[in-house]
Amino acid sequence: MLKEAFYNLGIHAYSGAMSAVALFNPKAKLFVEGRKNLIQKIKNDFSDNTKAVAWFHCASLGEFEQGRPVIEAFKQQFPNYIIVLTFYSPSGYEVQKNYEYADFVYYLPIDSKSNTSSFVKYVQPKIAFFVKYEFWHNYLKELKKVNAQIISFSTIFRANQAFFKNKGGFQQNMLKQFDYFFTQDQNSYDLLSSININSKMIAGDTRFDRVAAICQKPRVDQIAEAFSKDSFTVVVGSSWPRDIQALKKTAAELKNIKWIVAPHEISDKKIDEIFNTFSSKKGITYSNSTSENIKDKNLLIIDNVGLLSSLYQYADVAYIGGAFGEGLHNILEPATFGIPVIFGKEYSKFNEAIQLVDRQGAFSLQNEEECFNKMKQLFDDKNYRLNTGNITKKYVEENLGSTDKIIDFCKEVL
């Protein structure tokens, strides 16, 4: 009870802190403003609903990409269900607030007792899905009260998490509220076994199903197609400043490469930094491009959201940002198109990166010099590049099917 009291106190303190930060931080402002009068809106939306409800919760945009194949398969299998999708982060909600397969998309109301009691009372989920690693004490308690099925999928754990410590009873109890876990790997499965949670299956990562679906029907982009035609093209996905710096020597010395660069944060400052680092290149932003004026350029900077996953179809090599400390971004999106993948030095928390490095389909590089050497090798040796790409594509194909396992379970319990 004491830990629960501290938890609830912490929730309220965090909410107050975000309100203060919102005065000068745009992202925090979205976080706060998006939750104003939210419970009342939800009450109004569900005032006369008589249909069964499936609730999917994602922390942010990355988790949404994991959840998306399950949402869409669930909608097809259970067309009479209302789909509710919630996000914790503005970076998820603001991009996907009009997502076509959800009937309602909301920010997740803060996990206070009053919010969670009202949310569950009004929405009445029959089944609730939490993607990857979202665990909210009060929501789980309220869902349990109404006998909702509570599912976690694409779940991944590490031994150093509080759930698996001797004094982790409060955290462990959150996990024990779930009816079923679909873990990404054996290690996560074994960690659940260590605290006597037995309703589980190793189902893999639903992102494999998502990226394979993108690859089967990629969105054609006329600008990127015209830009990359008959040219060796590198797509740099979700780059941070340290990633751009790591590519500086390659950009300067390998003359016959075209670059498509998608910064993780889109701002005039970040775009200017890319132009400055790639100063030897003739560049243009996507928003200023046409299929004609792009042809004589060799640097295309993506200054909008939502294009990246389909741009890898135009790449010969992909460089994925975040592995110099910020957190490696999605390497499966390029891998599914059968191209070599390069990233920085910190990737130990990402199973797919570990496994693709072991298979030599992806390469972790320590610095600017190593990046240049590997890129030059891939540029000079076409057979090596194609063989490496075949490794990445085969890896994705071997890991498909997680979504089907989750939907099969739903057929049994609903």
Percentage of the chain surpassing pLDDT 90?
Answer: 88
Q: How confident is the model over 146-201, as pLDDT tens digits? A: 999 999 999 999 999 999 988 768 999 999 999 999 999 999 999 999 999 999 99
Q: Quick one: pLDDT at residue 305?
A: 83
Looking at the structure, tell me whether residues 151 and 232 fall in a common domain.
no
Q: How confident is the model over 290-317, as pLDDT tens digits? A: 988 998 999 999 998 889 999 999 999 9
Looking at the structure, tell me whether residues 238 and 347 fall in a common domain.
yes
Assign 12 a pLDDT band (cuts: 50, 70, 90): confident
Q: Is 210 a member of any domain?
A: no
Looking at the structure, tell me whether residues 196 and 267 fall in a common domain.
no
Average pLDDT over residues 91-110: 96
Q: Quick one: pLDDT at residue 4?
A: 87
Q: Quick one: pLDDT at residue 142?
A: 97
Q: How confident is the model over 275-286, as pLDDT tens digits? A: 999 988 899 999
Q: Is 118 a member of any domain?
A: yes
Looking at the structure, tell me whether residues 89 and 200 fall in a common domain.
yes
Average pLDDT over residues 362-367: 97
Average pLDDT over residues 397-405: 97
Looking at the structure, tell me whether residues 233 and 298 fall in a common domain.
yes
Query: Model-level pTM greater than 0.85?
Result: yes
Average pLDDT over residues 207-229: 94
Average pLDDT over residues 33-47: 97
Q: Is 211 a member of any domain?
A: no
166 vs 225, higher pLDDT: 225
* Structural domain total, the chain: 2
Assign 109 a pLDDT band (cuts: 50, 70, 90): very high
Q: Is 10 a member of any domain?
A: yes
Q: How confident is the model over 236-280, as pLDDT tens digits? A: 999 999 999 999 999 999 989 999 999 998 899 999 999 999 988
Domain interval for residue 118: 2-205+401-413
The residue among 114, 150, 123 whose CA lies nearest residue 134 is: 150
Looking at the structure, tell me whether residues 10 and 90 fall in a common domain.
yes
- We report the CATH number of the domain holding residue 81 as 3.40.50.11720
Q: Quick one: pLDDT at residue 345?
A: 96
75 vs 265, higher pLDDT: 75
- We report the CATH number of the domain holding residue 294 as 3.40.50.2000
Looking at the structure, tell me whether residues 184 and 97 fall in a common domain.
yes
Assign 74 a pLDDT band (cuts: 50, 70, 90): very high
Looking at the structure, tell me whether residues 274 and 188 fall in a common domain.
no
Looking at the structure, tell me whether residues 394 and 405 fall in a common domain.
no
Question: Does the pLDDT of residue 376 top 90, yes or no?
Answer: yes
Looking at the structure, tell me whether residues 201 and 225 fall in a common domain.
no
Q: Is 366 a member of any domain?
A: yes
Average pLDDT over residues 118-132: 98
Question: Does the pLDDT of residue 56 top 80, yes or no?
Answer: yes
Looking at the structure, tell me whether residues 173 and 291 fall in a common domain.
no
Average pLDDT over residues 47-76: 96
Average pLDDT over residues 11-32: 90
Q: Quick one: pLDDT at residue 3?
A: 82
Looking at the structure, tell me whether residues 293 and 175 fall in a common domain.
no
